[in-house]
């Protein structure tokens, strides 16, 4: 038996603030997000409309879809740790 207390679950926010792998050119902290399957009505599974970090997906009971990973700036995650890409067609959204 150890004298250390059990580890508390890591929050998505804590995981997201840690740089993962190579940073973007401007040294912005990034996180790898994945597409995933989530629980639908009843026992069904459906493709989620957003992406998330692996830890967020697993904590929510989802299934990571390997091969769908890409890095995004940490500040683009929402308060729950999910990343939703805004459909912009060709190019970025105009500045407000």
Q: Which residue positions in the chain have pLDDT lower than 50?
A: 1-2, 4-24
Residue 5's pLDDT is 42
pLDDT at 96 (0 to 100): 59
pLDDT single digits (tens) 9-23 = 333 343 444 444 443
**In the chain, where are the structural domains located?**
30-81
User: Whole-angstrom Cα distance, residue 69 to residue 52?
Assistant: 9
Read off the pTM.
Answer: 0.60
């Amino acid at each position: 038996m150890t004298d250390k207390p059990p580890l508390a679950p890591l929050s998505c926010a804590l995981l997201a603030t840690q740089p993962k792998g190579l940073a973007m050119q401007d040294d912005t902290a990034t996180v790898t997000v994945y597409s995933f399957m989530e629980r639908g009505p009843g026992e069904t599974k459906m493709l989620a409309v957003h992406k998330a970090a692996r830890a967020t997906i697993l904590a929510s009971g989802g299934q990571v879809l390997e091969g769908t990973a890409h890095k995004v700036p940490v500040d683009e995650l929402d308060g729950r740790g999910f990343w939703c890409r805004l459909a912009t067609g060709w190019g970025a959204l105009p500045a407000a």
